[in-house]
Amino acid sequence: MALYELLDSILVGMGYELIEVEQSAPGKLLRIFVDKKDGGITIDDCVAISNHLNRLLTVEGIDYSRLEISSPGLDRPLKKESDFIRFAGKSIKIKLRIALQGQKNYIGIIREINDGILGLEVEGRVLHIELDNLEKARLIPEL
């Protein structure tokens, strides 16, 4: 089982959502970004997750020297279709793999998401973008 899938299944069982896993060279830093739908992540959540995952990763034989648990931040990445549904109406910044209308970078508002197609409002018009064409998507913080 791949590391992401293993962590995802464990964290869902604990009531959290796995956002992203970053791993430096094997055996070094393992950084895990998690969120919680109601209220976000607290320091106590990070401690609980860290304690649980330390034991799990040892049992699974995952080699690392430092484990970091973190919230995804205000500019959290959007990866899954459910992320786009959850943050409908919010502003995002995206980078495409393949240019659309001669452009790869867009800033807009999530208007809809249907069957893997993102409806992104950009300058008063809605662009329809396949999620498979997204290289990166991040929320724009509302301050």
Q: What is the CATH number of the domain that holds 126?
A: 2.30.30.180
Which residue intervals of the chain are DSSP H helices? 3-14, 43-60, 81-86
pLDDT higher than 80, residue 39: no
End-to-end C-alpha distance for the chain, whole angstroms? 39
- Out of 42, 70, 98, pick the residue that ends a domain: 70
The range of the structural domain enclosing residue 59 comes to: 3-70
pLDDT higher than 80, residue 26: no
66 with 12, same domain: the answer is yes
In which band, very low, low, confident or very high, does the pLDDT at 40 lie, cut at 50, 70 and 90? Answer: confident
Q: What confidence tens digit (pLDDT) does each residue in 122-142 have?
A: 999 999 999 999 999 999 998
Q: Which residues, other chains included, contact 61 with Cβ-Cβ below 8 Å and sequence gap of 6+?
A: none
E strand or H helix that includes residue 109: strand 103-114
Tell me how far apart the alpha carbons of residues 85 and 110 are, in angstroms, rounded to a whole number. Answer: 8
52 with 99, same domain: the answer is no
11 with 64, same domain: the answer is yes
Please check whether residue 53 is in contact with residue 62, taking contact to mean a CB–CB distance below 8 angstroms.
no
Instruction: Return the amino acid letter for 69.
Output: I
CA-nearest of 138, 126, 124, 127 to 95 is 138
- Asked, for residue 102, whether it belongs to a domain, the answer is yes
Phi and psi at residue 2, to the nearest 5°: -65, 155
In which band, very low, low, confident or very high, does the pLDDT at 1 lie, cut at 50, 70 and 90? Answer: low
- Asked, for residue 76, whether it belongs to a domain, the answer is no
**Which tokens sit at 79?**
């990866």
**Domains of the chain: total:** 2
91 with 55, same domain: the answer is no
58 with 91, same domain: the answer is no
Please check whether residue 36 is in contact with residue 16, taking contact to mean a CB–CB distance below 8 angstroms.
yes
